Amino acid sequence: MALFVTRHQHTAETCPAGDLTAGPMLLQHLSQDNAARSGINIHGESVVQDHTFYMILEASDIEKVRDFMAPFTQAGSVEIWEGNSCATVVARRNCGPGGNVWIGGKIS
């Protein structure tokens, strides 16, 4: 399994948090049970600043992450980076170079 970091950004106008339909759907999508059905383990998530949402995910490949993040592209942009734990980069004695990056979705 590999680690991935995702960033989703959207505008105030497309924010799902305040929408009475989209908000609960978002929480259901992010549930551990739903993520597991998609082959995803959510290690952490956080909303920072205005309308920016980060997650640390574990999956067998970037395609699973891309599929899991697809609903977010309806509201804004999505970026996915391959990541490593700190223990991994210390063990190999090197932080770089970075892995694959995927950028998609609506440009806000």
21-63: pLDDT as tens digits = 999 999 999 999 999 999 999 999 999 988 999 999 999 999 9
What lies within 8 Å, CB to CB, of 41 at 6+ separation is: 1, 32, 35, 57, 58, 59
108, pLDDT greater than 50: no
Domain covering 2-105, topology: Alpha-Beta Plaits (3.30.70)
pTM of the model: 0.86
Given a cut of 50, is residue 107 above it in pLDDT? no
Domain ranges of the chain: 2-105
**Distant-in-sequence, close-in-space partners of 35: CB < 8 Å, separation ≥ 6:** 41, 42, 57, 68
